[in-house]
A = this chain, B = another copy of it.
Amino acid sequence: MQTRELLVSAPGKVILHGEHSVVHGKVALAVSLNLRTYLRLQSTASGEVRINLPNIDTFLAWEITALQPLLAGCEEQGDLKELDADLLKRLRVFTGILDDSTDTRSMAVLAFLYMYLTVFAEALSSITVSVWSELPTGAGLGSSAAYNVCLSAALLSARGTISSPLTPQQESARWCKEETELINRWAFMGEKIIHGNPSGVDNAVGTWGGFLRYQAGNITPLSWVPILRILLTNTKVPRSTKVLVSGVKDKINKFPSVMKPVLESVSAVSCTCEQTLTEMATHGPSAEHYNILEELIDINQHHLNVMGVGHSSLDTLCRVTLARGLHSKLTGAGGGGCGITLLRPETDASVIQSTFEELKSCGFDCWETSIGAPGVQQHSSAALGQDILKILNSY
């Protein structure tokens, strides 16, 4: 145990372009969402491992002596590419979480215990982990990945497997490339526990931040990218990603000659957007860059409607924002869910405020935030808002 207290955070994720078409081998752009998950890890002398997840009303503790036997048969820090299915099975029995239960609380507990046991292995220590997230869960915003990335970074750092990069002069610090890769690999294990067969995009965004290009299983972070202000809107219309994905597949099968060019066009939208973002970061952003980003958002929103994953609530979002010259698209699975609205540097605070209020009056949740922000970070307590510190310190 290297440390008395660790504060870390990781961002959420939105798909900027390429949702759905990515399933059919096309390019998607995933990007960090600066609604973050915050984690505080304290080393204690209680002989217990404790987890506090106030967002989902979950507060649990286990005796270390009771956890120890679960490690029998595990190799220390074994192959990180594969989940240790036997350990996971033993954990389900130990916690009484049934094989077919997939609820948020159970999954969060399993991912925590699995990561704790595999990271600390022969050196299990008393710790208390408290997590607070600005991200709504189940909204396709990568909340589980942000959780897993925070857990991975904090546990690996507390164990001493990776450093604690924060120096006394700093408010926030990032890990080096090699350590970040380790954080990402371990977070991916947590994602596998929670989602079964995740793409790895969400944990990559939570770890690296910024913009990532994703195609056919290959994830490439973009080197130079700007941070863009956005409104994030949750229409709160429930949807099933599975049903939506299969609806798009059916439509492609029904109208192949009509739909395949649409997927091509979406892929080109992603690539043109990537090119524009790179130009913005290297030459400085111009009004014309923002015009292009807006045009691409509009085009893609129409394409998503063609795929049949639009929704009247998303049409409302687009209409309300366009009435103020702002451009929106759905993000993620569609059929309701969340949408993003690009804000220009010159967009007036009063415009944002009135948009915000009208969206609220439609029954939507709305956040003013940004995309492209850094990935996982270690923080000093001075870096964190009082409200967040208050929550994390109350356990």
Partner-B contacts on A (CB < 8 A): 254-255, 257-259, 261-262, 264-265, 268-269, 271-272, 295-296, 298-299, 302-303, 305-306, 315, 319
Contact = CB atoms under 8 A, between A and B. Distances in A.
A220 to B, nearest CB: 19
Contacts of A259: 265
Contact of A306 (B254, B303, B319): B303
A183 to B, nearest CB: 36
Nearest to A310: B302
Given A257-B268, A258-B296, A302-B303, 8 more contacts: A254-B295, A258-B272, A258-B299, A261-B262, A298-B305, A298-B306, A302-B302, A315-B319
B295 A268 contact: no
Number of copies: 2
A167 B319 CA distance: 57
B255 A295 contact: yes
A211 to B, nearest CB: 18
Contacts of A306: 265, 298-299, 302-303
A271 to B, nearest CB: 7
Contacts of A298: 305-306
Contacts of A257: 265, 268, 271-272
Contacts of A299: 255, 258, 306
A70 B261 CA distance: 56
Contacts of A271: 257
16 contacts: A255-B268, A255-B299, A257-B265, A257-B268, A257-B272, A258-B268, A258-B269, A258-B296, A258-B299, A259-B265, A261-B268, A265-B306, A302-B302, A302-B303, A303-B306, A315-B319
